Homo-oligomer: A and B are copies of this chain.
Amino acid sequence: MTDWANPGIDLHLDLGAGRGVRTRLEQALRQAVRDGRLAPGTQLPSSRVLAQDLGIARNTVREVYDQLVAEGWLTARQGSGTRVARETFAEPSRSKAAPVVSTTAELTESSHGQNYPYDLRPGSPDLSSFPRHVWLTASRRALAAAPHEAFGYTDPRGQLDLRESLAEYLARVRGVRTTPDLILVCSGFVQAIGLLGRALYKIGGRQIAVEAPGLPDPPTILRNAGLETVQLSLDADGACVDQLADEDAVLLTPSHQFPTGAAMPPARRTAAVAWASKHGAVIVEDDYDGEFRYDRQPVGAIQGLAPHHVAYAGTTSKSLAPGLRLGWLVLPPHLLEPVVCEKHLADRHCPALDQLTLAELITSGGYDRHVRHMRARYRRRRDQLVTALVQHAPHVRVSGIAAGLHAVLELPADGPTEDELVTRAQQQGLALTGMASFGSRTGPALVVGYGRPPEHAFAGALERLCAVLETTGL
């Protein structure tokens, strides 16, 4: 069976520094599986190909594969190659029959690497803070006011009420310049990037530049849409846009680079826009946590500089909850039809009720209030994190803290590896993620998602983090 998710079986591994190459490869593969970067069932490159890619001996790769098969991380079957084991961290299934395949259960992020009592992995807000009562009240108002037609097959762009509220909100809060007819309501960023990818491909696009390090999923989705992804380096100011050449598009996280947290300064934004304009290319702006800026005036969206060259993606996944699957694309005019037609083919349009509820929430001011409230709470956590690190692990450099729900902790190069720290943390019941998960080739670092824990568990999570970091001190 072909590995239909990754036809070229790209496998990025950061082997780090120190020790023997065999040990480093083992650790890198274990980490990649633990973090979920390599999902259960994923086919790995053959030992010959991986050895070539990494520039190491084929026997070394074979021995590592054998070792990890023996440990249960991988499986090897005649004619099927070496794959990530399916039963690695299976949660006990609640279904009455034995599941035929447990792989799908393991696609959930929460089940990757087991559930831990304390969790500082990035990627999620505090789920306990989803404002259920406020949402239900808005839902009741929305249901009372909605015309019957709202529950039929409607505009693929989404409910007009929501698009009008969003146009106003985004202009006010993020400096986005658009009109309701250019907004497409999507089922989160994953759908948005998939629709964009397919639309770009269909109008002739073939290459998109993606930040590296960065989230692994968007490039996978873009490649699945037929595009080739080209890596774009980062520095302290975010993506190195001067490296852009003749790609058809670039995917950026300019307000708060994921994972480094860098904010792209004005001159670089202007340069990105100039490049897009000159080449007729598209900037895809992933504004995943744009409402959470702590220390100064929010950095407006790049979209406001060039509405005809930027596809702006926003989401409620961090401000409300990932489970809503409610996001949006603000499209440049030339992409409206191709992208909206992909949406129509994909699932017609997004569900009506949640859209009407969000529109009501925005219009009533309830959404602003909630975001302000959460911004204050996440800022407090950011402060507590910084203070704790100063006290307990002054050798650790923290960055990316001006915004968002995560920060980067740079570790001493000669201390424990990311892998070792993550393991130590797990032994204390704390889940952590290393920077290598996102393709980083720089020194060891942790990406700490201080937004994730429920309020009552935050202090405990911070305690355990500091305990682990203290062991890295000189």
User: Which A residues are within 8 Å of any B CB, using their own CB?
Assistant: 1-2, 4-5, 41, 93-97, 99-101, 103-105, 107-110, 123-124, 127-128, 130, 132, 135-136, 139-140, 143-144, 148-157, 160, 164, 179-182, 186-188, 190-191, 194, 202-204, 220-221, 224, 321-326, 333, 336-338, 340-341, 344-354, 454
**Interchain CA distance A191-B76 in the complex, whole Å:** 34
User: Do residues A190 and B110 form an inter-chain contact, with CB atoms below 8 A?
Assistant: no
- When distances are taken between beta carbons in the complex, the residues of chain B under 8 Å from A181 are 93, 95, 97, 99-100, 104-105
A313 CB, nearest partner CB in chain B, Å: 13
Residues on B with C-beta less than 8 A from A127 are: 148-149, 151-152
Beyond known contacts A124-B153, A187-B350, A353-B354: 18 more, CB 8 A cutoff:
A2-B204, A4-B203, A104-B157, A104-B341, A107-B341, A107-B344, A110-B153, A127-B152, A136-B140, A136-B143, A154-B323, A187-B187, A190-B345, A194-B346, A221-B345, A325-B350, A351-B351, A351-B354
> In this complex, what residue of B is CB-closest to A104?
B340
User: With A94-B160, A97-B179 in contact, do A109 and B152 touch (Cβ < 8 Å)?
Assistant: yes
**Inter-chain contacts of A101 with B (CB < 8 A):** 333, 336-337
Which residue of chain B is the closest to A333 with respect to CB atoms?
B100
Do A187 and B324 form a contact, CB below 8 Å, given A127-B151, A152-B124?
A: no
Do residues B136 and A132 form an inter-chain contact, with CB atoms below 8 A? no
Inter-chain contacts of A140 with B (CB < 8 A): 136
A182: B residues at CB distance < 8 A = 100
Which of chain B's residues have a CB closer than 8 A to the CB of A164? 95
Q: Please, which residues of chain B bring their CB within 8 A of the CB of A152?
A: 109-110, 124, 127, 321-323
Asked if B322 contacts A153 (CB within 8 A), the reply is: yes
**Copies in the assembly, this chain:** 2
Q: CB within 8 A of A351: which of B96, B109, B325, B454?
A: B325
- A349 to B306 CA separation, bound complex (whole angstroms): 32
Q: What residues on B are CB-neighbors of A109 within 8 Å?
A: 152-153
In the complex, A321→B103 CA distance in Å?
Answer: 32
Let me know if A4 and B202 touch, CB within 8 A. yes
Chain B residues with CB below 8 A from A135, complex form:
143, 353
A186–B351 alpha-carbon span in the complex (Å): 11
Nearest chain B CB to A320 CB, angstrom units: 8
Shortest CB–CB separation between residue A157 and chain B, in angstroms? 6
A108-B156 CB under 8 A given contacts A179-B95, A348-B190, A354-B353: yes
Question: Are A156 and B194 neighbours in the complex by a CB distance under 8 Å?
Answer: no
Measured in the bound complex, the distance between the Cα atoms of B449 and A153 in whole Å is 15
Query: Which of B151, B194, B326, B344 contacts A322 (CB under 8 A)?
Result: B151
**Residues of B contacting A341 with CB < 8 Å?**
4-5, 104, 107
Of the candidates B324, B333, B337, the one whose C-beta lies within 8 Å of that of A352 is: B324
Q: Do A348 and B160 have beta carbons less than 8 Å apart?
A: no
A and B contact pairs by CB, cutoff 8 A, 26 listed: A2-B203, A4-B341, A5-B341, A96-B179, A97-B179, A101-B336, A103-B337, A104-B341, A105-B181, A107-B155, A107-B156, A107-B341, A107-B344, A108-B153, A108-B154, A110-B154, A136-B143, A148-B454, A153-B322, A187-B351, A188-B348, A190-B348, A220-B345, A224-B345, A323-B352, A324-B352
Interface centre among A94, A107, A135, A148 (most CB of B within 10 A): A107
**CB-CB < 8 A to A345: which residues of B?**
5, 190, 194, 220-221, 224
Q: Are B325 and A349 in contact (CB under 8 A)?
A: yes
A190 touches B347 (CB 8 A): yes
Closest approach, in angstroms, between the C-beta of A251 and any C-beta of chain B? 16
Q: Which residue of B lies closest to A338 (CB)?
A: B4
A95–chain B nearest beta-carbon distance, Å:
4
| Closest Cβ neighbor of A97 among chain B residues | B179
Tell me the smallest distance from the CB of A16 to a CB of chain B, in Å: 28
Partner of A323, one of B94, B220, B321, B351: B351
> Could you tell me the distance in whole angstroms from the C-beta of A358 to the nearest C-beta in chain B?
11
A132 to B145, CA, bound (A): 11
Bound-state CA distance A291–B294 (Å) is 53
Beta-carbon nearest neighbor of A321 in chain B: B151
Q: Which 6 residue pairs of A and B lie closest in terms of their CB atoms, listed nearest first?
A: A323-B352, A4-B202, A151-B323, A151-B321, A187-B347, A191-B347
Q: Which residues of B contact A108 (CB under 8 A)?
A: 153-156
